[in-house]
Homo-oligomer: A and B are copies of this chain.
Amino acid sequence: MNKPKVGIINVSGYTGVELARLLSQHPEVALTSVTGRSSAGKKLGEVFPHLADLALTIEPELGEVSFAFSAMPHKESAKEVIPLLSRGIKVVDLSADFRLKDAAEYPAWYGFTHPEPQLLSQAVYGLPELYRREIAAAQLVANPGCYPTGAILALAPAVKAGIIEPEIIIDSKSGASGAGRTLSLPTHFAEANEDASAYALDGHRHLAEITQELRLFRPQLPAAVTFVPHLIPMTRGILTTGYAHLASGRIASGSRGSGEVFQLYQDFYRDEPFVRVVAHPPHTKHTWGANTCFIHPTLDLRTGRLIVISAIDNLVKGAAGQAVQNMNLMLGLHEPTGLGAAAIYP
């Protein structure tokens, strides 16, 4: 009984190497091929000593696999993925190249014209909590961005149930690994340490995903989401705080309303293996290295606002872990396979 062979395109960034870590522990698939450009020819363990037990050599081109992950940057990823699809290979693309349904969004947000717009409707947005069935049937899954994962999971129950006004504010705080392994001044240690700052105030690319997904629940949702990402001095983790006014007449006032909201969230995520609705504000630390998303919904009783907070590890549930979760669904495996490890605390 042969395990499916899987490969990673561009193992040398943080999402790529995190995929390699998770797949190395996966009991039902075999990671047999990893590619990289600058590091092609090296052993994986030379570049990443923690993965030395994986006796893999970084290759210039993907070997024979039946399942592939692309951890290439946007625009380049589509070029790698399209040929694989025509060879019948199933793919989870961790870039943004197949996340947006409307091809016109690509020039606006990403500065390029999509090479195969017709694929956008075939690709499934890889948030299993929303699209489990579609993912299981897909050949191509577009793995969500790290911020959208935390934001959509935090807000979907409220938006779907129509309990909030469509005026939503999303304030996210991310560790520096979200910016990748490519060097930059803002992620230079002496700059990022002991610092907090906001960025992309004129519109972060992930806003396109967030709006697209939330609108599916309420097509009339106007362009009323404000999303401000912040860089804070930690390596992993995204904490997202969402704010929205309660729609009138849907939720009881006072603390009874808090209970109703909590119940609504619990019901929404009742059988989810990786989402936990919790009674206290969550800590990103409790997700470190794990595929968990903690969500804490509550009401600001003074103002009648919903405050909802989510915590994820940006490289796991926000990237590589969710990609493996999608792979499990696409291969018909038990969804949590290989993703059972608890977070590492402290």
Does A226 belong to the interface (CB within 8 Å)? yes
User: Which of A83-91, A133-141, A212-220, A278-286 lies at the interface?
Assistant: A278-286
Contacts of A234 in B (CB 8 A): 193-196, 232-233
A203:B281 contact, CB within 8 angstroms: no
Residues facing B in A278-296 (CB within 8 A) are: 278, 281-290, 292, 294, 296
User: Which of A69-77, A111-119, A298-306 lies at the interface?
Assistant: A298-306
A173:B193 contact, CB within 8 angstroms: no
B239:A283 contact, CB within 8 angstroms: no
B302:A198 contact, CB within 8 angstroms: no
Q: A195-B285, A201-B300 are in contact. List 12 more A-B contacts (CB 8 A).
A: A21-B344, A25-B342, A50-B344, A50-B345, A169-B305, A183-B188, A187-B188, A189-B189, A197-B285, A201-B296, A223-B302, A230-B241
Q: Which residues of A contact B (CB under 8 A)?
A: 14, 17, 21, 24-25, 48-53, 167, 169, 171, 173, 175-177, 181, 183-185, 187-199, 201-203, 207, 223-226, 228, 230, 232-237, 239, 241, 243, 245, 276, 278, 281-290, 292, 294, 296, 298, 300-303, 305, 307, 309, 311, 340-346
